[in-house]
Structure 1
Amino acid sequence: MKRFNYLLDPLFLICCGLYVVNRWVIKPHVHAAFFHNWFNDGLLIPCALPPLLLLHKLCGLRNHDAFPTTGEIAAHLVGWSVLFEWIGPRIMRTTGDPWDVVAYAVGAVLAFVWWRFDRITPLRKTADEL
C-alpha cells in the first residue's frame, strides 16, 4: 500500500504553489471575482489537511500513513465550514459566504479523487520511491 507523504504530497505542494501564485501574481492583476473570492477557498482541504494529519500522526491521533480517508476529509470539511462560515463571522461580526463552503467542497472532492485513484495521480510516489 502506498503511504501518504504529508508535506511532500504532490497535491499539497501544487496547491500551496497555486495559493502563492493567486495571492501575489493573479489577484493584483486580474479583477475576476473567482480569483478574489473563491479560488483560494477551493485549496483549503489540499493545503490544510496534510499538515494537520501530520500533526495528528505526531500526537498519536492517527495510527496509519494511508492517504486521507473519506471520513477525515469530510470531518475537516464540515468542521472548517462551520468554523469559517458560521462561528468565525459571528465572532468577527462579518457575514459568512455560503459560496465559500461550495468552494471548500469542490476542493475536497477534487482532493479526494486525487488521493484515491492511482490511475488519476501518476505523480504520487510511495515513501520508498522518494
Structure 2
Amino acid sequence: MKTLRHPIFLASLLLFCLNQVLELLHIYIWPLHTHLDDLLCMPVILTLILAAERLYFRNPYFVLPRHYIVVSVLLFSIVFEGILPLLAAKYTADAWDIVAYVVGALIFHKNINRSMPAQSIEAVK
C-alpha cells in the first residue's frame, strides 16, 4: 500500500527503531532519548490509522479529519503526560513531549494526510 511507503512515514519508523536500539544498548543521547519518540509517534501512528482506513473503506482518497488528529494528540497527552506519571514513578510528565506530539501531528497533517494522486491509484488496481 502506497500510504505505508510515504518517505516521511518510513523515515519516522526507521528513526524510531534506531532510537529504540540505542536505548536497548543503554546509549542515551539528549534530546533524542527524551523527545524523539514523542515527535515520531504521531506520524507513525496516524499513518497506520490512515492506511487502515483507506484499506477498510477501499478509498485511497480518504484523509483523516482534523478532529481525529486533534483527539489523538489530546489522548496521547492525557495518557502519557497526565495519567501514567501519576500511576508509576518511571514515567515523567513533560510539557515538551506535548509540544513534540503537536509538531509530529502537524508534520503528518501537512505532508502525509493527503489523497493519493490518480496515477498512483490506477497503478494499484
TM-score (structure 2 length as normaliser): 0.71
* Residue 126 in structure 1 maps to residue 123 in structure 2: no
The share of aligned pairs that are identical, in percent, is: 25
Alpha-carbon distance in structure 1 between the residues aligned to 2:3 and 2:112: 11
- Find out whether 1:19 has 2:16 as its counterpart: yes
Instruction: Tell me the CA shift for residue 77 of structure 1.
Output: 0.7
What are the ranges of 5 or more consecutive residues in structure 2 without an aligned counterpart?
Answer: none
Aligned-pair Cα RMSD in Å: 3.5
SS at match of 2:84: helix
Displacement of 1:86 after TM fit?
Answer: 0.5
Greater than 3 Å deviation, 4+ residue runs? 4-10, 25-32, 52-58, 62-65, 125-130
Q: Which deviations, in whole Å up to 9, do the C-alpha atoms of 1:23-48 show, x marking residues without a partner?
A: 32599597542111001110011111
Whether the aligned pair in 2 keeps the contact of 1:68 and 1:115 (CA below 8 Å) is no
Check whether the contact 1:6–1:54 (CA below 8 A) recurs between aligned residues. yes
Q: In the superposition, relative to structure 1, how do residues 22 and 70 fare at CA in structure 2: closer, same or farther (>3 Å)?
A: same
Query: Which of these residues, 32, 43, 47, is aligned with residue 46 of structure 1?
Result: 43
Structure 2 CA distance for partners of 1:91 and 1:17, relative to 1, 3 Å: same
- Which has the larger share of helix? 2
Deviation at 1:52, TM superposition (A): 3.4
Mark the runs of 5 or more structure 1 residues left unpaired by the alignment: 119-124
Q: Distance in 1 between matches of 2:85 and 2:28?
A: 25
Native 8 Å contact 1:44 1:107 kept in 2: yes
TM-score by length of 1: 0.68
> 1:78 corresponds to which residue?
74
